[in-house]
Structure 1
Amino acid sequence: MSVQPGDRIPEVVLKYINDGVQAIDTPTLFQSRNMVLFAVPGAFTPTCSERHLPGFVEHFDTFRARGIEVACVAVNDPFVMQAWGAQLAVPDGLRMLSDGNGDFARALGLEMDASAYGMGRRAKRFALYAEDGVIRHLFVEAPGEFKVSSAEHMLAQLDQAAQTPTS
């Protein structure tokens, strides 16, 4: 079963490049911050490179102006994530995270089997918004689709939530 809004982000260690390979655990990554994290099935793949990551690059300043950090994660190694980010001119501050063994995708319950495409076990395409490590919004794509995990959809949902009165 996958995580749901209201659940805490599971504790997993992710990797990234910053003067060598660095590790960050998810409690540290999400602690005391509002964050949008989106997952792609694979760096350098068509939809991920042409639409998914570019949308978050395009709207990065909008998220930041709202006090929201942005991170991308994929079941790729940290060197691939760094190279992909460089190729797509990812701005400083948009974290490119490696879930090399798929531990995070599995812990979230958002793992998929892409073996038929020669890609092994990967993360489903999704986007989540978390406050201090608690998931507030989660949007998981149906296989082969790209609609609900886009930057534009996430911004629209955050706008809608901001306009909804709380009881």
Structure 2
Amino acid sequence: MVDRRLGYAIAWVVCAVVAIAIGIAAVTTVGASVRGRGPLGDGGIERSTQGQGRYDPEVAVSPLPGAEVVRQTVREEFGELDVKCRGAVAYATDARPDRAAGWDVVSFEPGPDDDVDAVFSNAGRSIEFEVYCNRGRPELADYEENTLPADDD
């Protein structure tokens, strides 16, 4: 009876160690893939606290002095969006829909922010995407295509 309990205890410890090892491997792998996705934290960004001495997420972000400016145009079927990075701070400077193909700009966030986004629509479709500054260069963070519900009026 004692040998059986000891066997169960050893099996439980082995299973716990294996589960912890799998968990650590999973978190390490996911963390590695997330680290390259934009500024996590305040690296390369100044947030004005207006002398309050505390962090306020609603306060505007601004690039660090001397940050390099990198411009890029995102071109897709919907048209174009001009994006500018100054360090880790993103700006969307112009949105040009492909009107000949029926696209229109629903909205775009000009920044400055850690990322900027735009929404384009064409009849029953919309495309929403987000661009952030990865090491000072514009990079697509999220791209989402949606089918809009039919208008039954």
| TM above 0.5 | no
Higher CA-based Rg? 2
TM-score by length of 2: 0.24
Whichever structure has more helix as a proportion of its residues is 1
Whichever structure has more strand as a proportion of its residues is 2
Greater RCO (Cα-Cα under 8 Å, separation 6 or more): 1
